[in-house]
Structure 1
Amino acid sequence: MNKIDTVIFDLGGVLIDWNPEYVFLDAFNGDRGKMEWFFKNICTSDWNENQDAGYPLTKATEDLIKKFPEHEEYIKLFYGDWEKMLGGAIEGTVKILETLIKSKNYKVIALTNWSNETFPIAQKRFEFLQWFEGIVVSGNEKTRKPFKEIYDITLNRFNITPENSVFIDDNLRNIEAANALGINGIHFKTSKDLLQQLKKYNIQL
Protein backbone atom coordinates (compact mmCIF):
# COMPACT_ATOMS: atom_id res chain seq x y z
CA MET A 1 0.00 0.00 0.00
CA ASN A 2 1.29 3.46 -0.89
CA LYS A 3 2.01 5.83 1.97
CA ILE A 4 -0.84 8.34 2.32
CA ASP A 5 0.26 11.97 2.45
CA THR A 6 -3.02 13.74 1.55
CA VAL A 7 -6.54 13.51 2.98
CA ILE A 8 -9.39 15.07 0.97
CA PHE A 9 -12.71 15.73 2.72
CA ASP A 10 -16.14 16.27 1.26
CA LEU A 11 -18.05 18.78 3.42
CA GLY A 12 -21.84 18.33 3.31
CA GLY A 13 -22.80 15.07 5.00
CA VAL A 14 -19.24 14.48 6.25
CA LEU A 15 -18.31 17.59 8.26
CA ILE A 16 -21.48 19.66 7.96
CA ASP A 17 -25.06 18.51 8.47
CA TRP A 18 -27.06 19.92 5.54
CA ASN A 19 -30.62 18.78 4.96
CA PRO A 20 -33.51 20.49 3.12
CA GLU A 21 -35.90 18.60 5.39
CA TYR A 22 -35.13 21.20 8.08
CA VAL A 23 -37.12 23.70 5.99
CA PHE A 24 -39.60 21.61 4.04
CA LEU A 25 -40.95 19.28 6.70
CA ASP A 26 -42.33 22.38 8.43
CA ALA A 27 -43.44 23.88 5.12
CA PHE A 28 -45.50 20.74 4.43
CA ASN A 29 -46.87 20.66 8.00
CA GLY A 30 -44.99 17.49 8.86
CA ASP A 31 -46.33 15.57 5.85
CA ARG A 32 -43.24 13.58 4.87
CA GLY A 33 -44.97 12.01 1.86
CA LYS A 34 -45.73 15.41 0.31
CA MET A 35 -42.22 16.64 1.03
CA GLU A 36 -40.61 13.59 -0.55
CA TRP A 37 -42.84 13.92 -3.62
CA PHE A 38 -41.75 17.56 -3.95
CA PHE A 39 -38.03 16.61 -3.81
CA LYS A 40 -38.54 13.77 -6.28
CA ASN A 41 -40.54 15.81 -8.80
CA ILE A 42 -39.93 19.55 -8.37
CA CYS A 43 -36.81 20.67 -6.43
CA THR A 44 -34.88 17.52 -7.33
CA SER A 45 -31.31 16.67 -6.40
CA ASP A 46 -30.35 17.01 -10.09
CA TRP A 47 -31.79 20.53 -10.15
CA ASN A 48 -29.90 21.51 -6.99
CA GLU A 49 -26.65 19.99 -8.29
CA ASN A 50 -26.88 22.20 -11.36
CA GLN A 51 -26.51 25.19 -9.02
CA ASP A 52 -23.61 23.40 -7.32
CA ALA A 53 -21.92 23.60 -10.71
CA GLY A 54 -22.30 27.38 -10.79
CA TYR A 55 -25.75 28.04 -12.28
CA PRO A 56 -27.21 31.22 -10.69
CA LEU A 57 -29.70 30.57 -7.88
CA THR A 58 -32.10 33.33 -8.97
CA LYS A 59 -32.16 32.06 -12.56
CA ALA A 60 -32.63 28.45 -11.42
CA THR A 61 -35.57 29.51 -9.25
CA GLU A 62 -37.17 31.49 -12.08
CA ASP A 63 -36.70 28.59 -14.52
CA LEU A 64 -38.42 26.16 -12.19
CA ILE A 65 -41.32 28.52 -11.41
CA LYS A 66 -41.98 28.88 -15.15
CA LYS A 67 -42.12 25.09 -15.38
CA PHE A 68 -44.20 24.55 -12.23
CA PRO A 69 -46.00 27.85 -11.45
CA GLU A 70 -48.41 26.12 -9.07
CA HIS A 71 -45.45 25.33 -6.76
CA GLU A 72 -43.98 28.85 -6.78
CA GLU A 73 -44.22 29.38 -3.01
CA TYR A 74 -42.27 26.21 -2.22
CA ILE A 75 -39.73 26.64 -5.02
CA LYS A 76 -38.84 30.12 -3.70
CA LEU A 77 -38.37 28.59 -0.26
CA PHE A 78 -35.52 26.34 -1.40
CA TYR A 79 -32.92 29.08 -1.73
CA GLY A 80 -34.89 31.74 0.13
CA ASP A 81 -34.60 29.73 3.35
CA TRP A 82 -31.44 27.85 2.39
CA GLU A 83 -29.52 28.93 5.50
CA LYS A 84 -32.03 27.09 7.70
CA MET A 85 -31.08 23.85 5.91
CA LEU A 86 -27.66 24.07 7.53
CA GLY A 87 -27.56 22.02 10.70
CA GLY A 88 -24.54 21.91 12.96
CA ALA A 89 -21.07 20.51 12.50
CA ILE A 90 -20.66 16.73 12.53
CA GLU A 91 -18.49 16.91 15.63
CA GLY A 92 -16.91 13.46 15.44
CA THR A 93 -15.52 14.20 11.99
CA VAL A 94 -14.40 17.70 13.01
CA LYS A 95 -12.32 16.07 15.77
CA ILE A 96 -10.70 13.77 13.20
CA LEU A 97 -10.00 16.78 10.96
CA GLU A 98 -8.46 18.68 13.87
CA THR A 99 -6.19 15.74 14.75
CA LEU A 100 -5.00 15.46 11.15
CA ILE A 101 -4.29 19.18 10.94
CA LYS A 102 -2.42 19.26 14.27
CA SER A 103 -0.29 16.25 13.32
CA LYS A 104 1.18 18.21 10.37
CA ASN A 105 1.83 14.83 8.73
CA TYR A 106 -0.75 15.25 5.98
CA LYS A 107 -1.90 17.74 3.38
CA VAL A 108 -5.59 18.27 4.21
CA ILE A 109 -7.89 19.52 1.42
CA ALA A 110 -11.66 19.84 0.92
CA LEU A 111 -13.53 19.06 -2.30
CA THR A 112 -17.19 20.01 -2.16
CA ASN A 113 -20.25 20.24 -4.39
CA TRP A 114 -21.56 23.62 -3.22
CA SER A 115 -22.99 26.71 -4.84
CA ASN A 116 -20.51 29.58 -4.89
CA GLU A 117 -23.38 31.84 -3.77
CA THR A 118 -24.20 29.94 -0.58
CA PHE A 119 -20.73 28.69 0.39
CA PRO A 120 -19.73 32.01 2.03
CA ILE A 121 -22.61 31.49 4.51
CA ALA A 122 -21.04 28.20 5.62
CA GLN A 123 -17.59 29.80 5.81
CA LYS A 124 -18.89 32.40 8.26
CA ARG A 125 -20.61 29.79 10.41
CA PHE A 126 -18.00 27.03 10.60
CA GLU A 127 -14.56 28.06 11.80
CA PHE A 128 -13.00 24.72 10.80
CA LEU A 129 -13.41 25.64 7.13
CA GLN A 130 -10.42 27.94 7.69
CA TRP A 131 -8.21 24.99 8.68
CA PHE A 132 -7.81 23.43 5.25
CA GLU A 133 -4.80 24.01 3.05
CA GLY A 134 -7.33 24.66 0.32
CA ILE A 135 -10.98 24.08 -0.62
CA VAL A 136 -12.20 23.28 -4.13
CA VAL A 137 -15.79 24.55 -4.41
CA SER A 138 -17.68 23.21 -7.42
CA GLY A 139 -19.64 26.44 -7.91
CA ASN A 140 -16.39 28.35 -8.40
CA GLU A 141 -15.04 25.77 -10.84
CA LYS A 142 -18.27 25.50 -12.89
CA THR A 143 -18.14 21.71 -12.69
CA ARG A 144 -18.88 19.21 -9.93
CA LYS A 145 -18.40 15.71 -8.63
CA PRO A 146 -18.57 13.05 -10.04
CA PHE A 147 -17.12 14.60 -13.25
CA LYS A 148 -13.45 13.90 -13.86
CA GLU A 149 -12.60 17.56 -14.40
CA ILE A 150 -13.10 18.58 -10.77
CA TYR A 151 -10.89 15.78 -9.48
CA ASP A 152 -8.20 16.77 -11.98
CA ILE A 153 -8.45 20.39 -10.81
CA THR A 154 -7.98 19.27 -7.20
CA LEU A 155 -5.04 16.97 -7.93
CA ASN A 156 -3.24 19.55 -10.07
CA ARG A 157 -3.89 22.59 -7.87
CA PHE A 158 -2.46 20.95 -4.76
CA ASN A 159 0.12 18.73 -6.42
CA ILE A 160 -1.51 15.53 -5.17
CA THR A 161 -0.47 12.04 -6.26
CA PRO A 162 -3.74 10.06 -6.54
CA GLU A 163 -2.33 6.84 -5.07
CA ASN A 164 -1.01 8.74 -2.05
CA SER A 165 -4.35 10.35 -1.23
CA VAL A 166 -7.58 9.34 0.48
CA PHE A 167 -10.90 10.95 -0.42
CA ILE A 168 -13.82 10.87 2.05
CA ASP A 169 -17.36 11.40 0.70
CA ASP A 170 -20.85 10.32 1.80
CA ASN A 171 -21.94 9.76 -1.82
CA LEU A 172 -20.74 6.43 -3.22
CA ARG A 173 -21.02 7.78 -6.77
CA ASN A 174 -18.32 10.35 -5.98
CA ILE A 175 -16.07 7.74 -4.39
CA GLU A 176 -16.33 5.50 -7.45
CA ALA A 177 -15.37 8.43 -9.70
CA ALA A 178 -12.33 9.12 -7.52
CA ASN A 179 -11.33 5.44 -7.55
CA ALA A 180 -11.39 5.49 -11.35
CA LEU A 181 -8.61 8.10 -11.21
CA GLY A 182 -6.50 6.11 -8.77
CA ILE A 183 -7.58 8.02 -5.66
CA ASN A 184 -8.26 5.86 -2.59
CA GLY A 185 -11.82 6.34 -1.38
CA ILE A 186 -13.69 6.03 1.90
CA HIS A 187 -17.49 5.98 1.72
CA PHE A 188 -18.48 8.00 4.80
CA LYS A 189 -21.19 6.56 7.03
CA THR A 190 -20.34 7.66 10.58
CA SER A 191 -17.41 9.42 12.24
CA LYS A 192 -16.65 6.27 14.24
CA ASP A 193 -16.52 4.17 11.08
CA LEU A 194 -14.33 6.80 9.38
CA LEU A 195 -11.81 6.52 12.20
CA GLN A 196 -11.50 2.78 11.60
CA GLN A 197 -11.26 3.21 7.82
CA LEU A 198 -8.45 5.76 8.13
CA LYS A 199 -6.50 3.40 10.37
CA LYS A 200 -6.62 0.78 7.61
CA TYR A 201 -4.59 3.22 5.51
CA ASN A 202 -2.04 3.52 8.36
CA ILE A 203 -3.07 7.12 8.96
CA GLN A 204 -1.91 8.14 12.42
CA LEU A 205 -4.64 9.65 14.57
Structure 2
Amino acid sequence: MFIKAIIWDFGGVIIRTEDPASREQLIADLGVTRDYLSELTFSGEAGTRAQLGEITQAELWQHVRSELNLAPSEYPDLMKRFFGGDVVDFELVDYIRSLRSRYTTALLSNAWNDLRGIITNRWNFADAFDVMVISGEEGVMKPDPRIYQIALERSGVQPPEAVFIDDSIENIEAARKIGMHGIHFQNPEQALVDLEKKLGHS
Protein backbone atom coordinates (compact mmCIF):
# COMPACT_ATOMS: atom_id res chain seq x y z
CA MET A 1 0.00 0.00 0.00
CA PHE A 2 1.03 3.58 -0.61
CA ILE A 3 1.56 5.88 2.35
CA LYS A 4 -1.41 8.23 2.77
CA ALA A 5 -0.94 9.63 6.29
CA ILE A 6 2.02 10.88 8.31
CA ILE A 7 1.43 10.98 12.06
CA TRP A 8 3.70 12.97 14.36
CA ASP A 9 4.43 12.90 18.06
CA PHE A 10 4.74 16.31 19.74
CA GLY A 11 7.02 16.30 22.81
CA GLY A 12 10.56 15.29 21.89
CA VAL A 13 9.82 15.70 18.17
CA ILE A 14 8.13 19.02 17.33
CA ILE A 15 9.04 20.59 20.67
CA ARG A 16 12.37 19.59 22.19
CA THR A 17 14.49 20.54 25.18
CA GLU A 18 17.35 22.21 23.31
CA ASP A 19 18.92 23.86 26.36
CA PRO A 20 18.68 21.71 29.51
CA ALA A 21 20.57 24.21 31.68
CA SER A 22 17.47 25.85 33.17
CA ARG A 23 15.88 22.54 34.16
CA GLU A 24 19.17 21.11 35.42
CA GLN A 25 19.72 24.15 37.64
CA LEU A 26 16.16 23.82 38.93
CA ILE A 27 16.84 20.18 39.83
CA ALA A 28 20.01 21.18 41.65
CA ASP A 29 18.28 24.01 43.52
CA LEU A 30 15.43 21.73 44.59
CA GLY A 31 17.85 19.03 45.74
CA VAL A 32 16.03 16.29 43.84
CA THR A 33 17.01 13.91 41.05
CA ARG A 34 16.09 14.26 37.39
CA ASP A 35 14.13 11.00 37.59
CA TYR A 36 12.16 12.19 40.61
CA LEU A 37 11.12 15.44 38.92
CA SER A 38 10.20 13.53 35.76
CA GLU A 39 8.08 11.13 37.79
CA LEU A 40 6.32 14.01 39.55
CA THR A 41 5.46 15.80 36.31
CA PHE A 42 5.02 13.07 33.69
CA SER A 43 5.49 9.39 34.47
CA GLY A 44 4.05 9.17 37.99
CA GLU A 45 0.40 8.81 38.95
CA ALA A 46 -0.45 12.51 38.81
CA GLY A 47 1.39 13.04 35.52
CA THR A 48 -0.36 10.06 33.96
CA ARG A 49 -3.76 11.24 35.19
CA ALA A 50 -3.12 14.67 33.66
CA GLN A 51 -2.19 13.10 30.32
CA LEU A 52 -5.40 11.06 30.48
CA GLY A 53 -7.45 14.19 31.14
CA GLU A 54 -8.49 13.02 34.61
CA ILE A 55 -7.00 16.11 36.28
CA THR A 56 -6.17 19.54 34.88
CA GLN A 57 -2.71 20.93 34.29
CA ALA A 58 -3.32 23.33 37.19
CA GLU A 59 -4.13 20.42 39.49
CA LEU A 60 -1.01 18.58 38.37
CA TRP A 61 1.23 21.54 39.12
CA GLN A 62 -0.48 22.05 42.47
CA HIS A 63 0.47 18.45 43.27
CA VAL A 64 4.06 19.03 42.12
CA ARG A 65 4.39 22.18 44.21
CA SER A 66 2.93 20.43 47.25
CA GLU A 67 5.34 17.51 46.91
CA LEU A 68 8.25 19.94 46.59
CA ASN A 69 7.04 22.08 49.53
CA LEU A 70 7.18 25.28 47.49
CA ALA A 71 5.67 28.55 48.62
CA PRO A 72 3.00 30.21 46.42
CA SER A 73 5.50 32.92 45.48
CA GLU A 74 7.70 30.26 43.87
CA TYR A 75 4.96 28.86 41.58
CA PRO A 76 5.58 30.97 38.44
CA ASP A 77 9.34 30.50 38.69
CA LEU A 78 8.94 26.71 38.84
CA MET A 79 7.14 26.43 35.50
CA LYS A 80 9.33 29.04 33.80
CA ARG A 81 12.49 27.18 34.78
CA PHE A 82 11.04 23.74 34.05
CA PHE A 83 10.05 24.63 30.49
CA GLY A 84 12.74 27.27 29.90
CA GLY A 85 14.83 25.20 27.50
CA ASP A 86 11.95 23.85 25.40
CA VAL A 87 11.86 25.08 21.80
CA VAL A 88 9.29 24.54 19.05
CA ASP A 89 10.95 23.48 15.79
CA PHE A 90 9.13 25.78 13.39
CA GLU A 91 11.23 24.58 10.45
CA LEU A 92 9.86 21.09 11.09
CA VAL A 93 6.36 22.54 11.39
CA ASP A 94 6.79 24.19 7.98
CA TYR A 95 7.91 20.85 6.54
CA ILE A 96 4.84 19.12 8.00
CA ARG A 97 2.64 21.86 6.58
CA SER A 98 4.20 21.32 3.14
CA LEU A 99 3.12 17.66 3.21
CA ARG A 100 -0.59 18.44 3.48
CA SER A 101 -1.09 18.81 -0.26
CA ARG A 102 -0.08 15.16 -0.75
CA TYR A 103 -0.73 13.41 2.56
CA THR A 104 -2.99 13.54 5.58
CA THR A 105 -0.95 14.95 8.46
CA ALA A 106 -1.85 14.13 12.05
CA LEU A 107 -0.60 14.85 15.54
CA LEU A 108 -0.69 12.02 18.10
CA SER A 109 0.50 13.16 21.51
CA ASN A 110 0.46 12.08 25.12
CA ALA A 111 -0.28 15.52 26.52
CA TRP A 112 -2.47 17.57 28.81
CA ASN A 113 -5.85 18.56 27.45
CA ASP A 114 -4.79 22.17 26.87
CA LEU A 115 -2.33 21.29 24.09
CA ARG A 116 -4.78 21.90 21.24
CA GLY A 117 -5.46 25.43 22.48
CA ILE A 118 -1.75 26.16 22.91
CA ILE A 119 -0.94 24.95 19.39
CA THR A 120 -3.87 26.92 17.96
CA ASN A 121 -3.65 30.17 19.88
CA ARG A 122 -0.08 30.55 21.17
CA TRP A 123 2.02 28.91 18.47
CA ASN A 124 -0.43 29.24 15.57
CA PHE A 125 0.32 26.05 13.69
CA ALA A 126 -2.88 24.03 14.00
CA ASP A 127 -3.13 24.42 10.22
CA ALA A 128 -0.16 22.04 9.83
CA PHE A 129 -2.42 19.12 10.78
CA ASP A 130 -5.59 17.63 9.36
CA VAL A 131 -6.10 15.70 12.60
CA MET A 132 -4.98 16.19 16.21
CA VAL A 133 -5.35 13.33 18.68
CA ILE A 134 -4.35 14.27 22.23
CA SER A 135 -4.42 11.80 25.10
CA GLY A 136 -5.81 14.35 27.55
CA GLU A 137 -8.90 14.68 25.35
CA GLU A 138 -9.27 10.97 24.59
CA GLY A 139 -8.69 9.37 28.01
CA VAL A 140 -6.20 6.90 26.56
CA MET A 141 -2.50 7.28 25.84
CA LYS A 142 0.37 5.70 23.92
CA PRO A 143 1.40 2.91 23.79
CA ASP A 144 -2.22 1.72 24.18
CA PRO A 145 -3.25 0.55 20.68
CA ARG A 146 -6.63 2.24 21.03
CA ILE A 147 -5.19 5.72 20.63
CA TYR A 148 -3.36 4.70 17.44
CA GLN A 149 -6.66 3.36 16.09
CA ILE A 150 -8.33 6.69 16.88
CA ALA A 151 -5.64 8.52 14.91
CA LEU A 152 -5.97 6.10 11.99
CA GLU A 153 -9.76 6.30 11.89
CA ARG A 154 -9.80 10.10 11.97
CA SER A 155 -7.13 10.16 9.28
CA GLY A 156 -9.21 7.80 7.16
CA VAL A 157 -6.42 5.28 6.59
CA GLN A 158 -5.48 1.68 7.34
CA PRO A 159 -2.36 0.91 9.45
CA PRO A 160 -0.10 0.05 6.47
CA GLU A 161 -1.00 3.42 4.91
CA ALA A 162 0.39 5.42 7.86
CA VAL A 163 3.86 6.38 9.07
CA PHE A 164 4.24 7.27 12.74
CA ILE A 165 7.18 9.34 14.03
CA ASP A 166 7.99 9.38 17.77
CA ASP A 167 11.06 9.75 19.97
CA SER A 168 9.94 6.82 22.17
CA ILE A 169 10.93 3.41 20.81
CA GLU A 170 8.19 1.86 22.97
CA ASN A 171 5.58 3.95 21.17
CA ILE A 172 7.10 3.11 17.78
CA GLU A 173 7.03 -0.61 18.53
CA ALA A 174 3.38 -0.34 19.57
CA ALA A 175 2.55 1.34 16.26
CA ARG A 176 4.42 -1.31 14.28
CA LYS A 177 2.62 -4.05 16.20
CA ILE A 178 -0.72 -2.94 14.74
CA GLY A 179 0.73 -2.66 11.23
CA MET A 180 1.83 0.97 10.96
CA HIS A 181 5.21 2.07 9.67
CA GLY A 182 7.38 3.56 12.40
CA ILE A 183 10.30 5.98 12.48
CA HIS A 184 12.22 6.42 15.72
CA PHE A 185 12.98 10.14 15.95
CA GLN A 186 16.52 10.91 17.09
CA ASN A 187 17.04 14.27 15.40
CA PRO A 188 15.27 16.17 12.60
CA GLU A 189 17.84 15.38 9.91
CA GLN A 190 17.76 11.63 10.55
CA ALA A 191 13.97 11.51 10.85
CA LEU A 192 13.34 13.39 7.61
CA VAL A 193 15.83 11.25 5.68
CA ASP A 194 14.10 8.12 6.99
CA LEU A 195 10.68 9.57 6.17
CA GLU A 196 11.63 10.52 2.63
CA LYS A 197 12.85 6.95 2.11
CA LYS A 198 9.52 5.58 3.39
CA LEU A 199 7.67 7.90 1.04
CA GLY A 200 9.84 6.89 -1.90
CA HIS A 201 11.18 10.39 -2.48
CA SER A 202 14.85 9.44 -2.29
What TM-score do the two structures reach when normalised by structure 2? Answer: 0.80
TM-superposition CA deviations, 1:144-193 (whole Å, max 9, x none): 11111111111122221100110011111111111111011000111110
- Alignment pair present for 1:185 and 2:179: no
Which of the numbers 120, 129, 132 marks the counterpart of 2:117?
Answer: 120
Which of the numbers 128, 133, 152 marks the counterpart of 1:131?
Answer: 128
Equivalent-residue separation in structure 2 for 1:10 and 1:133 (angstroms): 14
2:9 aligns with: 10
1:174 aligns with: 171
Structure 2: unaligned runs, 5 residues or longer = none
Structure 1: unaligned runs, 5 residues or longer = none
CA shift in 2, pair 1:154/1:172, >3 Å: same
- Alignment pair present for 1:45 and 2:37: no
In the TM superposition, residue 15 of structure 1 has moved relative to its aligned partner by: 1.1
CA shift in 2, pair 1:40/1:139, >3 Å: closer
Equivalent-residue separation in structure 2 for 1:202 and 1:120 (angstroms): 31
> Is the deviation greater in 134-143 or in 31-40?
31-40
- Alignment pair present for 1:163 and 2:160: yes
User: What one-letter code is carried by the residue in structure 2 that aligns with 1:48?
Assistant: G
**1:79-158 matched pairs, under 5 angstroms:** 81=79, 85=83, 87-101=86-100, 104-158=101-155
Q: How many residues align?
A: 198
In the TM superposition, residue 65 of structure 1 has moved relative to its aligned partner by: 6.5
Equivalent-residue separation in structure 2 for 1:170 and 1:78 (angstroms): 29
CA contact (8 A) 2:51 2:136 kept: yes
CA shift in 2, pair 1:115/1:74, >3 Å: farther
**1:11-30 matched pairs, under 5 angstroms:** 11-17=10-16, 24-28=23-27, 30=28
Query: Identity of aligned pairs, percent?
Result: 26
CA contact (8 A) 2:23 2:82 kept: no
What TM-score do the two structures reach when normalised by structure 1? Answer: 0.78
1:196 aligns with: 193
User: What one-letter code is carried by the residue in structure 2 that aligns with 1:5?
Assistant: K
- After the TM superposition, list the runs of 4 or more consecutive aligned residues in structure 1 that deviate by more than 6 angstroms: none
Equivalent-residue separation in structure 2 for 1:42 and 1:64 (angstroms): 6
CA shift in 2, pair 1:97/1:74, >3 Å: farther
In the TM superposition, residue 79 of structure 1 has moved relative to its aligned partner by: 11
